[in-house]
Structure 1
Amino acid sequence: MELKTVLITGGSSGIGKAIGSYLTAIGHTVYGTTRSLSNYPHFSEFQLLEMDVREPNSIQMAVSKLVKKEGRLDVLINNAGVGITGPLEETPNHEVLSAFDTNFNGPLNVIKVVLPQMRAQNSGLIINITSIAGYMGLPYRGIYSATKGALAILTESLRLETRDFGIKVTAIAPGDFATNIASGRYHAPVKTDSPYEVAYQKTLTTIDNQVDGGGDPTEVAKLVHKIMQIKNPKAHYKVGPFLQKFSVLLKRMLPDSWYESLLLNYSK
C-alpha cells in the first residue's frame, strides 16, 4: 500500500476527525484544518492547520505550509460544512448565503488552490463530502440539500476538466452519522405565530434523533480509504443506513408524487 499525504478540511471533529484518525492509524500523513487552532490546544490525533475555507488567503497559507513540509499533496478531502434548517420563507438571506459560502464556495476555494500542485505532480485525488440529503429536496432542510446537491454537480464537472492531468475526483454522500453537526447548525427559530410551527418543530426533533442515533463515522473513513486505493473511482458513492441510500434509487424509479408522499411520511 502506497502511503499518501492527505488534507482534510474540517478535520477537528465529526466525520473529518474520524477520517483523519483512521488514515493516520494506517500510516498515512494527515493534516486536518480548523478555523481556530486555539480551540484545540490538546488535539493530538494528527496535525492541524488553521484554515478558513471562506478565505482564499487562509487556504493558500495552509496549503503552502503543508507542501513546503511534505513536498506534495496526494489527497484533498473537502469535508468542512455547516448545517442549516428552517422554512424557506423564514430563513434569513444572510444565513442562506453563509451556508453556501461554507458548503459550496468553500470546497471550490480549496480546489482552486490545490489543483496547481496536483497538476505539477500529475496525480491527485479530490473527495468532496456531500450528503444523501443533496439528492432530494427535504422539507425544512432545503438550503442544506441545495448546497450539497450543488457540490455533487460541481464534482461531476471537475472530473471531466481534470482527467487529462492525472487528477481523480469523486463525491461521498453520507447519510446520518453520530457527530456534533447539530451543535453548529443554524436553525431558523420556531415561531409561535408561524404557519410552519408544528411541522417544523417535528422536523427539528426528527433530525436531532436521527443524528443522535446515527452510525459510526468510521464507516465513512473506511470508504475513503477504499477509494484511495481504486485506480478509477466512480463519480458518486453513498454511505449510511440502507433506507437512506435506497431512497436515492427510489427517487429515480418512482413518480414524483409517490416519492413526495414517502418523504412526507418519513419526515413525520
Structure 2
Amino acid sequence: MQTLADKVVVITGASRGIGAAIAAAMARERAKLVLCGRNKTRLKQVAKSLAGAEVVTISADITRPAGMKTIATTAVKHFGHIDIFINNAGVGLHKPLTETTEKEFDTIFDTNLKAVFFCFRVILPIMRRQGFGQIINISSMAGKQGVPGLAAYSASKAAMNVLSEAVAGEVRNDNIKVSVLAPASVETNFMSNLSKRSRTPSRAKQRLSVEEVADAVVFMAGQNENAWLSLAEIR
C-alpha cells in the first residue's frame, strides 16, 4: 500500500452519505481534498467536520461540461495537480420502468453516466500531462444484476462499468488507472426511504455502512503503482 498523505483527491457528491464518508476517510489519511456538490451549505458542514484537513469546496453541476471544467480548474489552481478523482455522485429512483418519465430517465443517466463521461473528457487530459493519476467510479451491484424497480438506475451503473473498463484500457499505457467500486446495498438515505416504501421487510442489518464503502475506496486508492485493481465488489 502506498501512502495517500498529500495526495490531491477530488470527490463528487461529497456533501453527504458515501461521499462525506470518503472525505472523512481520506482526511484521516492526510490527503488534500476537493469536495464537490450542489449544496453549498452541506459541503461547508462536511469541510468543517474535517478538522486539520486541507479542503477546498466547489459547488458545480457535474452533468454539464462547464461544471466539470470548473472543478478541474479549481483543483489545479489550488493544488497544482490531481492525483485521484472519485466519481461518487449518483441518483436513483424506485419506480417501474413503464412509469418512469423520460425526464427522470435522463436525470439518472446524466448524473450516473454522462458525468463520468465528462470527467474522462476533462480530467484524463490533465492526468496525461501529469503522467499519472487515478479515477475511481462508484458503481453498484445493481449494475451487474438488474434490480426490479430500479431498472434505469441498474442500466446506468452497468453502462458506467463497461465505459470504465474500456477507458481503462485506453489510458493504461499513460500510467493512469481507472477503477470501479461496486458495493451491494448501502445504508444511505435513498435505501432507507426505499425500505419505508417497500412491502418487503427491511434488510438494513445486511447493508454496508458508508464507512465500509469509504474504507474500500481508500484501499483502492492506496494500491501500489504496479497494482491494477479495475473492478472491486463489496458485500
Spell out the pairing of 1:132-143 with structure 2 (5 A cutoff): 132-143=141-152
Letter in 2 for 1:34: G
Q: Are 2:76 and 1:67 aligned?
A: yes
SS of structure 2 residue aligned to 1:31: strand
Asked if 1 retains the 8 angstrom alpha-carbon contact of 2:185 and 2:191, the reply is no
Pick closer, same or farther for the CA change 1:100–1:212 going to 2, 3 Å: farther
Secondary structure of the corresponding residue to residue 82 of structure 2: coil
> Which of 1 and 2 has greater Rg?
1
The answer for the alignment partner of 2:229 in structure 1 is 234
Q: 2:170 matched to 1:161?
A: yes
Q: Distance in 2 between matches of 1:211 and 1:83?
A: 18
Question: Gapped runs of 5+ residues in structure 2?
Answer: none
Q: How does 1:1-268 map to 2 (within 5 A)?
A: 1-3=3-5, 4-43=7-46, 44=48, 45=50, 46-182=55-191, 204-206=198-200, 209-210=202-203, 214-230=207-223, 231=225, 232-240=227-235
| 1:220-265 Cα distance to aligned partner (Å, 9 max, x none) | 111111112223222210112xxxxxxxxxxxxxxxxxxxxxxxxx
Distance 1:66 1:49 in 2: 9
- CA separation in 2, counterparts of 1:51 and 1:146? 25
CA shift, 1:2, in A, is 4.7
Contact preservation (8 Å) 1:9, 1:77: yes
Render the CA deviation track for 1:104-147: whole Å, top value 9, x for unaligned.
Answer: 00111122111111001110001110100110122111111000
Aligned partners of 1:212, 1:180: CA distance in 2, in Å?
A: 15
| Contact 1:36–1:51 under 8 Å retained in 2 | no
Q: If the length of structure 2 is used for normalisation, what is the TM-score?
A: 0.87
Using the alignment, how far apart are the partners of 1:28 and 1:202 within structure 2?
Answer: 37
Kept in 2: contact 1:85–1:143 (CA 8 A): no
Aligned-residue Cα RMSD (Å) equals 2.2
Whether contact under 8 Å (1:5, 1:73) holds in the other structure is yes
Stretches of structure 1 lacking an aligned partner (at least 5 in a row): 188-200, 241-268
Partners of 2:142 and 2:69 in 1: how far apart? 30
> Identity of paired residues, percent?
33
Q: Secondary structure at the match of 1:170?
A: strand
Q: TM-score, normalised by structure 1?
A: 0.77
Mapped partners of 1:143, 1:236: distance in 2: 21
Q: Structure 1 residue runs of 4+, over 6 Å off?
A: none
The number of equivalent residue pairs is 224
Paired with 2:86 and 2:153, the residues of 1 have a C-alpha distance of 19
